């Protein structure tokens, strides 16, 4: 099926939390994984899920984190600089507060100051 | 001495895309470069949630006009995986033929833009004149030059006849002959090399650090090409990733030229092997589940996350395009470079901002 991957609950995800997020991502980086993408999906009014898709030799491993909009999520952009655009995008589109971003566009990566806030939330 | 901040873009004569770089300068040397985007965000991911999943094919192929076909190819492949749809072999070959033709026109576009970047206007015009032949092939085979709407969930909307194949092969021969001339200029011309060799260096370690993809990564020695996984009809074709180790602007030019030669060969192989048969299957039902669909676009790996909930509307469509992955490499390549080299370095990413912002 490579390079595609069906994502099946409890089979293709490793669940992590915001406390161990950076350590887990660092471990994957040290093992030679590259960060393929980060996906964000809303889960109701209060929560969202972030899925970190890590690739090694064309195979994906998916780390899933469930977070609350009221909490700060640690940024991994100091580990993988390519994460900075993903995280700023989700700050814009979902209103997720990422901590310690490599470059912080303060919610204005795509959305202008007078634009609709958090349109995907 | 006080540092100067020069805004490069979003409107600039040499930049084909609305990207802004805030360049912090120490005299002529770039100290820091901060990219800024957001000038062409259209909210296509939100729009996709409001449309029927079949209509979303028309949305995704309008993410970008250059890699339009492969956007829809990634999307329909993802939906087909969720729904367990297996398309006919002929449809797989047709997808590969159009995909590689699209890659050729994208790389010819790049060659023209990079020539324009170092002031070689006649070379820019020549490469784009040849690109017109590819667009003519698109029009002949599908009726449209740019957004060809050849993909649908379940297969293809159009077929090709022997007359089409003959025209394509003739055009491949013409493009190949011209490419051999461009090869001499882009790779061996003294003036071109002066502007590209040793400029914008990205090491193999940097590629992994910044998760660069596509020709950006392969020019630094990373032999990674999603087509090697054998998706679609690539499993029947014989090829290796095009890799250079220079890591500079020159190496990226070489990779793209060699990939154009390779795409011509892949088109010929696909046409020689395409089986007879149907081009689509009937698809019933609606998608329920999540999938990651990946494809090797001209600029690199594109990642589609698709989530269906069993209705005709998708829960979520998330597109990570190759330029989205490659833009952060600017943070590594530009500091330490000279101001006149900024356009060339930026152009060698082959940026597509409409892809990046959706």
Q: Are strands B20-26 and A47-56 parallel, antiparallel or unpaired?
A: unpaired
- Which helix H or strand E contains A40, and what residues bound it? strand A34-43
Structural domain that includes position B173: 4-357
Q: Please identify among residues 26-65 of chain A the ones whose CB lies closer than 8 Å to any CB of chain B.
A: 32, 34-37, 39-41, 51, 53, 58, 60, 62
Instruction: Tell me the per-residue pLDDT of A63-110, one tens digit each, with 9 for 90 and over.
Output: 999 999 999 999 999 999 989 999 999 998 899 999 899 888 888 888
pLDDT in tens, A35-44: 999 999 998 8
Which pLDDT band holds residue A11 (cuts at 50, 70, 90)?
Answer: low
A57-64 average pLDDT score: 90
**Residue B253 and residue B245: Cα distance in Å, rounded?**
12
**B82 to chain A: nearest residue by CA?**
A6
Where do the DSSP E strands lie in chain B? Answer: 4-8, 20-26, 29-36, 151-152, 155-156, 288-297, 300-309, 314-320
Q: Do A85 and B327 touch (CB under 8 A)?
A: yes
Domain extent, residue A66, equals 5-99
In the three-class reduction of DSSP (H, G, I as helix; E, B as strand; rest coil), residue B322 is classed as helix
Indicate yes or no: CB of B77 within 8 angstroms of CB of A4.
Answer: yes
Give yes or no for a cis peptide into A3 (omega within 30° of 0): yes
**Average confidence score pLDDT of chain A:** 88
Query: Rounded distance, CA B35 to CA B266, Å?
Result: 36
Can you give the pTM of this predicted structure? Answer: 0.92
Task: Write the DSSP string, B73-119.
Answer: HHHHHHHHHHHT----HHHHHHHHHHHHHHHHHHHHHHHHHHHHHTT
Q: Are B303 and B40 in contact (CB under 8 A)?
A: no
ipTM for the whole predicted complex goes beyond 0.85: yes
> Is A80 contained in some domain?
yes
Query: Counting one residue from A and one from B, how many pairs have CB atoms under 8 Å apart?
Result: 99
What HEC string does B175-202 produce? HHHHHHHHHHHHHHCHHHHHHHCCCCCC
pLDDT along chain B (358 residues), means of 10: 82 84 90 88 90 94 92 95 94 96 95 91 94 95 93 94 95 95 90 91 92 94 93 93 93 95 96 95 93 94 93 93 92 91 92 88
CATH number of the domain bearing residue A26: 3.30.460.80
- pLDDT at position B1, please? 61
Q: Which band of pLDDT confidence, cut at 50, 70 and 90, is reported for residue A1?
A: low
Query: Which of A1, A2, A6 is the best residue to mutate to test the B interface, defined by the most B CB atoms within 10 Å of its own CB?
Result: A6
Question: Quick check: is A120 in a domain?
Answer: no
> Closest residue of B to A8, CA-based?
B290
Supply the pLDDT for residue B333: 93
- CATH number of the domain that residue B66 is part of: 1.10.645.10
In this structure, the dihedral spanned by the alpha carbons of residues B34, B192, B355 and A38, taken in order and rounded to 10 degrees, is: -60
Q: Is residue A115 part of a domain?
A: no
- Dist. CA B130–CA B264, nearest whole Å: 14
Task: Give the distance, in angstroms, between the CA of residue B288 and the centroid of all CA atoms in the same chain.
Answer: 29
For residue B82, the distance in angstroms to the closest alpha carbon of chain A comes to 7
* pLDDT of A114: 82
Domain count, chain A: 1
**Region A104-119 average pLDDT:** 83
> Is A108 part of any domain?
no
**Structural domains in chain B (count):** 1
A66: in domain? yes
Q: What is residue A117's predicted lDDT score, i.e. its pLDDT?
A: 82
pLDDT at A10 over 70: no
Angle at B321 between CA B327 and CA B288, to 5 degrees: 150
What order do you get walking across the sheet with A34-43 strand by strand? A13-16, A59-68, A47-56, A34-43
């Amino acid at each position: 099926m490579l390079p595609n991957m069906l994502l099946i609950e409890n089979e293709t995800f490793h669940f992590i939390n915001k406390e161990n997020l950076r350590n887990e991502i660092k471990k994957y980086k040290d093992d030679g994984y590259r960060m393929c993408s980060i996906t964000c999906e809303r889960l109701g009014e209060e929560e969202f899920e972030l899925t970190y898709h890590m690739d090694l030799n064309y195979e994906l491993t998916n780390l899933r984190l469930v977070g609350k909009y009221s909490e700060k999520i640690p940024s991994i952009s100091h580990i993988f600089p390519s994460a900075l655009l993903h995280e700023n995008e989700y700050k814009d589109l979902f209103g997720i507060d990422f901590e310690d971003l490599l470059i912080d566009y303060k919610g204005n990566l795509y959305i202008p100051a007078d634009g609709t806030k958090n349109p995907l939330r | 001495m006080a540092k100067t901040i020069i805004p490069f873009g979003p409107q600039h004569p040499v930049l084909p895309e609305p990207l802004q770089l805030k360049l912090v300068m120490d005299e002529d040397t770039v100290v820091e470069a901060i990219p800024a985007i957001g000038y062409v965000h259209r909210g296509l991911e939100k729009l996709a949630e409001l449309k029927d999943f079949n209509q979303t094919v028309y949305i995704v192929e309008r993410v970008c006009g250059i890699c339009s076909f492969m956007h829809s190819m990634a999307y329909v492949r993802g939906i087909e995986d969720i729904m367990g749809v297996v398309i006919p072999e002929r449809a797989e070959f047709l997808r590969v033929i159009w995909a590689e033709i699209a890659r050729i026109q994208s790389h010819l576009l790049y060659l023209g833009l990079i020539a324009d970047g170092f002031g070689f206007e006649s070379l820019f015009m020549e490469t784009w004149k040849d690109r017109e032949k590819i667009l003519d092939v698109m029009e002949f085979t599908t009726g449209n030059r740019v957004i060809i709407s050849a993909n649908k969930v379940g297969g293809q909307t159009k077929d090709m006849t022997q007359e089409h194949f003959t025209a394509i092969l003739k055009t491949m021969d013409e493009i190949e002959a011209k490419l051999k001339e461009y090869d001499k200029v882009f790779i061996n011309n003294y003036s071109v090399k002066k502007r590209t060799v040793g400029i914008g260096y990205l090491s193999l370690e940097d590629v992994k650090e910044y998760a660069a993809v596509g020709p950006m990564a392969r020019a630094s020695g990373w032999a990674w090409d999603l087509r090697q996984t054998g998706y679609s009809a690539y499993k029947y074709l014989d090829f290796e990733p095009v890799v250079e180790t220079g890591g500079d602007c020159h190496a990226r030019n070489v990779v793209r030229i060699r990939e154009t030669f390779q795409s011509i060969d892949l088109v010929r192989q696909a046409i020689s092997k395409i089986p007879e048969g149907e081009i689509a299957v009937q698809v019933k039902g609606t998608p329920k589940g999540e999938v990651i669909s990946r494809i090797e676009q001209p600029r690199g790996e594109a990642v589609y996350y698709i989530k269906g909930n069993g209705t005709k509307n998708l829960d979520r469509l998330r597109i990570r395009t190759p330029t989205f992955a490659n833009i952060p490499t600017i943070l590594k390549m530009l500091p330490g470079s000279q101001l006149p080299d900024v356009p060339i370095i930026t152009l060698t990413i082959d940026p597509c901002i409409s892809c990046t912002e959706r």
